[in-house]
Amino acid sequence: MAALLCRGRGLFSGAAARFSATSAVRATPSDTPKVIASFPNTKPHAVVDCKSVNGGRQLSVEFADGTRYEVHASWLRDSAPTRAGADYYRKSATDDVWGMGGLRISCAESHSGGERLSVEYEGVEVGPAGPEVFEAKWLHSLAPFVGKAMHDGAGGERFIQGTGSLMDRLLGGRTPWYSGVEIPAFDARHLESDLDAQVQFYEAMICPGVAMVHGVGTPDSLEMKHAGAPLEAHCEKILGRLNQHPVRSTRYAFMQKMAQPHSLDYDHSNPLSMHTDHAVYHGTPGFLQFLHQAQGHVRSKVADGLALAEHMRLEHPDAYELLTTVNITHSSRNELYTADGSPRNPADPGSRGVPFELVHTHPIIVLDGSGRLEKVVQSETKRGVCALPFSVYEPFMAAYRLWSQLCEDPRFVHHFDWPEGSVVVTNNWRTLHGRATVRPEVARTLCIGYANRILVENRYRLLKQRQAERANPALDHRWLTRVPNQALERMDGALSRCPA
Ligand SMILES: [Fe+2]
């Protein structure tokens, strides 16, 4: 079935051709053809009617789900994938803005069972490919944001708030985990090549917020500049390049233990409380943390920040209030590397490092605008000088003592074997980790890389786009890119499940 509207020149060369191609269309008394259509409810996005309004300056579009919107003719023209080149950039930096004033629609038609809408504009040359064709699902997904709703119960206009993330919808499905949790495991080669496995991996990074990747392999050399090669190669296949440290020559931290404890990043003999990394970095850029066991087999431990925060909220509400609202400072000076990015012993006065300062002031438990846990920023070794008001200091420190003891509580700490050649990945905004237990006779090399949240969220966006395109090849990359996350989420349609 089809809906068709034409003012002036039609989509086809003559009326007979036009109506033979749109035999389901019935002309209304006002000479505006109107479709009588009944589409399966599995296609709520199908266009069942379209007509111009306000002299062609807007197009009224009705979808099979009963929603109806008026959209600007200039918006249609401005937003079409034909405006962008193969590089996804606009073909012209000015024509789309300067050349669309007063644009009017001369002809519009739905076809392909309502899956597509063809549009022509007055005074705009039709290219060799014919009229501009829009995918109905794309239009249906964007209409609530850009269209003027004309159906009953539509409510007011919707303004998109912020960039958003396709991962946001996973946050509500998170459940706390405890010492007996089973960590999701992935095979490195399968993960590198399988779209669905990658989606599953990134969803596991939200819940439970930790995963084991087996089979990443071991490096040909355990020297610092070569030891991270398997980790980097793996991460480039599933995500991209890791964060670059400001001074260190490698994009990964390097720790090595031989017969005598010897660390290039920090002292292995120093016990380390459960913590999240990057507490001293403003914004906590290390959203995901990839820890590659390049050499050795150890046992290590993780704990769920969500479970800890929930326990505090339910059992110690006054302490929870302080930990979620009072800002404290994490800070340090990093002088662990020389000018060429090589590690140095900071206790050696003959070794000159290149220093940089780090400071981050924030609550220990950071909540988002909905009151949900956004991140746990916990690192006792990096905790800086308190500058809390006199009246707050003592109650806050009492709450912090309670919290830091809870982080070590066996009910919350999960211990696990960590074989050579595997990578433990943690959501550094949720999952705390401690120092691994390494038997004295075991030599160990560990490489650690970080990825920021924006990179991770956009990788997930790309993966979800590819899943959507696979499910509906007509709605390809040209339609799925360049749109806000909030609209893309309506196009994607695949409900994500929390794997834990
Ligand atoms: Fe750490």
What is the tens place of the pLDDT at every residue in 60-69? 999 999 999 9
Decide: helix, strand or coil at residue 168: helix
Instruction: Identify whether 343 is preceded by a cis peptide bond (ω within 30 of 0).
Output: no
HSE-CB at 485 with a 13 A cutoff on CA atoms is 17
Confidence (pLDDT) at 100: 76
Q: What are 118's strand-pairing partners?
A: 109, 133
The rounded Å distance from CA 273 to ligand 1 centre is: 9
Confidence (pLDDT) at 280: 96
The rounded Å distance from CA 303 to ligand 1 centre is: 13
Confidence (pLDDT) at 259: 53
C-alpha 68, offset from chain centre: 31
As a whole number, mean pLDDT of residues 461-484 equals: 95
The rounded Å distance from CA 313 to ligand 1 centre is: 25
Separation CA 275–CA 272 (nearest Å): 8
Per-residue pLDDT band for 437 (boundaries 50, 70, 90) equals: confident
495 against 189, higher pLDDT: 189
Separation CA 496–CA 467 (nearest Å): 12
The rounded Å distance from CA 275 to ligand 1 centre is: 6
Confidence (pLDDT) at 373: 98
438 against 332, higher pLDDT: 332
The rounded Å distance from CA 434 to ligand 1 centre is: 7
The rounded Å distance from CA 279 to ligand 1 centre is: 10
pLDDT above 70: percentage of residues in the chain: 86
Q: For the purposes of burial, counting CB atoms within 10 Å of the CB of 416, is it exposed (0-12), middle (13-18) or buried (19 or more)?
A: middle
Separation CA 109–CA 11 (nearest Å): 8
The rounded Å distance from CA 240 to ligand 1 centre is: 21
Confidence (pLDDT) at 327: 98
The rounded Å distance from CA 428 to ligand 1 centre is: 9
pLDDT at 232 over 90: yes
The rounded Å distance from CA 190 to ligand 1 centre is: 27
Separation CA 39–CA 1 (nearest Å): 9
Per-residue pLDDT band for 12 (boundaries 50, 70, 90) equals: very low
The rounded Å distance from CA 148 to ligand 1 centre is: 51
The rounded Å distance from CA 379 to ligand 1 centre is: 9
Confidence (pLDDT) at 413: 98
Separation CA 351–CA 356 (nearest Å): 16
Confidence (pLDDT) at 6: 56
C-alpha 201, offset from chain centre: 12
The rounded Å distance from CA 364 to ligand 1 centre is: 16
pLDDT at 342 over 50: yes
The rounded Å distance from CA 153 to ligand 1 centre is: 52
Q: Locate 99 and state its tokens.
A: 């050349």
The rounded Å distance from CA 124 to ligand 1 centre is: 60
The rounded Å distance from CA 187 to ligand 1 centre is: 24
420 and 445 Cβ atoms separated by less than 8 Å = no
As a whole number, mean pLDDT of residues 189-202 equals: 98
CA distances from 453 to 55, 208, 283, 377, 485 (A): 47, 16, 10, 15, 15
pLDDT at 474 over 80: yes
Q: Locate 52 and state its tokens.
A: 């111009």
Tens digits of residue pLDDT in 94-126: 777 887 778 899 999 999 999 999 999 987 765
Confidence (pLDDT) at 5: 53
Tens digits of residue pLDDT in 363-391: 999 999 999 999 999 999 999 999 999 99
As a whole number, mean pLDDT of residues 293-302 equals: 96
414 and 301 Cβ atoms separated by less than 8 Å = yes
The rounded Å distance from CA 352 to ligand 1 centre is: 25
pLDDT at 34 over 70: no
295 and 445 Cβ atoms separated by less than 8 Å = yes
Read off the pTM. 0.89
Q: What are 357's strand-pairing partners?
A: 333
The rounded Å distance from CA 396 to ligand 1 centre is: 24
pLDDT at 457 over 90: yes
The rounded Å distance from CA 397 to ligand 1 centre is: 23
The rounded Å distance from CA 345 to ligand 1 centre is: 19
The rounded Å distance from CA 463 to ligand 1 centre is: 29
468 and 493 Cβ atoms separated by less than 8 Å = yes
Confidence (pLDDT) at 31: 38
Confidence (pLDDT) at 368: 96
Confidence (pLDDT) at 352: 93
The rounded Å distance from CA 420 to ligand 1 centre is: 18
pLDDT at 242 over 90: yes
CA diameter of the chain = 93
The rounded Å distance from CA 433 to ligand 1 centre is: 6
pLDDT at 146 over 70: yes
The rounded Å distance from CA 402 to ligand 1 centre is: 21
pLDDT at 70 over 60: yes
412 and 307 Cβ atoms separated by less than 8 Å = yes
Buried residues in 156-179 as b, exposed as e (16+ CB within 10 A): eeeeeeeebbbbbebbeebebbbb
pLDDT at 323 over 70: yes
As a whole number, mean pLDDT of residues 356-365 equals: 97
Cβ neighbour number for residue 314 with a 10 Å cutoff:
9
Confidence (pLDDT) at 156: 87
As a whole number, mean pLDDT of residues 340-347 equals: 92
Whose structure tokens read 């339910």?
314
pLDDT above 90: percentage of residues in the chain: 78
50 and 147 Cβ atoms separated by less than 8 Å = no
As a whole number, mean pLDDT of residues 409-428 equals: 98
Tens digits of residue pLDDT in 162-195: 999 999 999 999 999 999 999 999 999 999 999 9
As a whole number, mean pLDDT of residues 143-157 equals: 94
The rounded Å distance from CA 277 to ligand 1 centre is: 5
141 and 45 Cβ atoms separated by less than 8 Å = yes
97 against 235, higher pLDDT: 235
Range in 33-47, 90-104, 131-145, 312-326 the model is least confident about:
33-47
